[in-house]
Chains A and B, each alone.
Chain A
């Protein structure tokens, strides 16, 4: 089952990197309630990543635990999609990305809750419940911003346009995905694309936002080819753990 470690790793990396990006809002939210909301969402994502890293570390069998996988790998070793590592941007960028990712996560984890790997199925079932209210939170905001003032509409549309070309990578399948799917452990992400587009389009239309028609899609994260942003983010995220290995507080 050589696919198991890389498969679990990409699931975890997506959530850790996005969780860290969302956590950057802590203390900077536009209003207190939203500051708290984003901190809670970040905690959920990082918690989901922790559970998946534990399974990944066990599958690898090299004695690496969740901290080793999160803090002691470099950017080229991360397998998250580029979409989650982009800077948090303004509030519109963060909220639109949360909608896009949460719908993806829900569809993906609903499928994985039927995985033949019982531990992965358990983590997936838990994640489904969280993705549901993450969608509710972000969808309400996307409608509020899109169907809001000229300024909020323009910013929300710009966020949708800028992020769109990074969404294709979410649905690209490689050998790891195909082997995991064939074994009944994982799913082929390309099978999620239509449902994702339907759900996201419904929210964008309610928000009076236009669905982009760009055809070119960025890719590379699953192969470890990242934007420059990931390295900068990891510098900040990993500095304490690397400066004081084994410290606890």
Chain B
């Protein structure tokens, strides 16, 4: 093991910023709110992550990429722990991350919906086209290429696009 000082939480997070989400490579796992904690001791590093959705198939890959990011850093063993508390929410995504998403062509998450028990009708959510910025958009499906996205189409520029769902 290479001899070096135990890194601070900020240093660990800076390293974790280099790990991008495999499905949305414009955002890091820190920006997405997936990383909940990172602690280094003499023995090694413990990173705590939380899944976006229970069925997110990217979690295994994210775990491997975290290990890869810490390899060759001489920090000893790397343990990746999974927590479910508190449950992940898009509210953890900052303004900068939202702007990156829109520039990438994905409408950022809006406000979360109210918690009606059987909400038969969704509120008329307004989602802005990430391409032409029109508000004349229409949802085609609540489910997109991943669980966290829905499919929309812009009535003005006719461009289909994805929305990162508020969750």
13 further A-B contacts with Cβ under 8 Å, apart from A40-B55, A122-B83, A128-B87, are A36-B145, A37-B142, A42-B55, A43-B53, A47-B55, A51-B84, A121-B85, A126-B51, A127-B54, A133-B142, A135-B118, A136-B142, A140-B120
Per-residue A-contact encoding for B49-74, CB less than 8 Å = 1, 0 else:
00101111100000000000000000
Supposing A36-B144, A121-B85 touch, asked if A44 and B54 sit within 8 A by C-beta, the answer is yes
In angstroms, how far is the closest chain A Cβ from the Cβ of B98? Answer: 20
Q: Mark A169-203, 1 if CB is under 8 A from B, else 0.
A: 00000000000000000000000000000010011
Return the contact of B55 from the options A37, A46, A106, A118 (Cβ within 8 A): A46
Count of chain B residues with Cβ under 8 Å from any Cβ of A?
Answer: 28
Q: Shortest CB–CB separation between residue B74 and chain A, in angstroms? A: 28
Please tell me if the beta carbons of A139 and B57 are within 8 angstroms of each other in the complex. Answer: no
CB <8 Å contact, B84 and A132: no
A206 to B121, CA, bound (A): 12
Q: Which residue of the partner chain B has the closest CB to A54? A: B82
Q: Does B117 lie at the interface of the complex (its beta carbon under 8 Å from any beta carbon of A)?
A: yes
In the complex, which residues 70-90 of chain B have their Cβ closer than 8 Å to any Cβ of chain A? Answer: 83-88
Ranked 7 nearest A-B pairs via Cβ: A43-B55, A47-B54, A122-B85, A122-B84, A47-B55, A33-B141, A37-B143
Contact indicator A33/B84 (Cβ below 8 Å) = no
- Kindly state whether residue B133 has any CB partner on chain A within 8 Å: no
User: Which of B83, B85, B151 counts the most chain A CB atoms within 10 A?
Assistant: B85
The residue in chain A whose Cβ has the minimal distance to the Cβ of B88 is A126
A44-B140 in contact given A125-B87, A129-B167 (Cβ < 8 Å) = no
Complex Cα spacing A121 to B147, Å: 23
Question: Interface 1/0s, chain B 123-167, versus A by CB < 8 A?
Answer: 000000000000000001111111100010000000000000001
A contact residues, total (Cβ < 8 Å): 38
Bound CA span A179–B86, Å: 27
Most buried by B among A33, A123, A202: A33
Check: A86 CB closer than 8 A to any chain B CB: no
**A199–B146 CA distance with the chains assembled, in angstroms:** 29
Interface membership of A211, Cβ < 8 A: no
Query: Smallest CB–CB gap between B62 and chain A, Å?
Result: 14
Tell me if B4 counts as interface (CB < 8 A to partner A): no
B95 within 8 A of A: no
Whole-angstrom distance between the alpha carbons of A139 and B121 in the complex?
10
| A103 and B118 contact, CB distance less than 8 A | yes
- Asked if A48 is at the interface (CB within 8 A of a chain B CB), the reply is yes
Nearest chain B residue, comparing its CB with the CB of A132: B115
Residues of B within 8 A of A135 (CB): 117-119
Nearest chain B CB to A113 CB, angstrom units: 9
B141 and A40 contacting across the interface, CB-CB below 8 Å: no
Min CB distance A206 to B, Å, is: 7
0/1 string, A83-113, CB within 8 A of B gives 1: 0000000000000000000010010000000
A37 and B84 contact, CB distance less than 8 A: no
Contacts of A130 in B (CB 8 A): 53-54
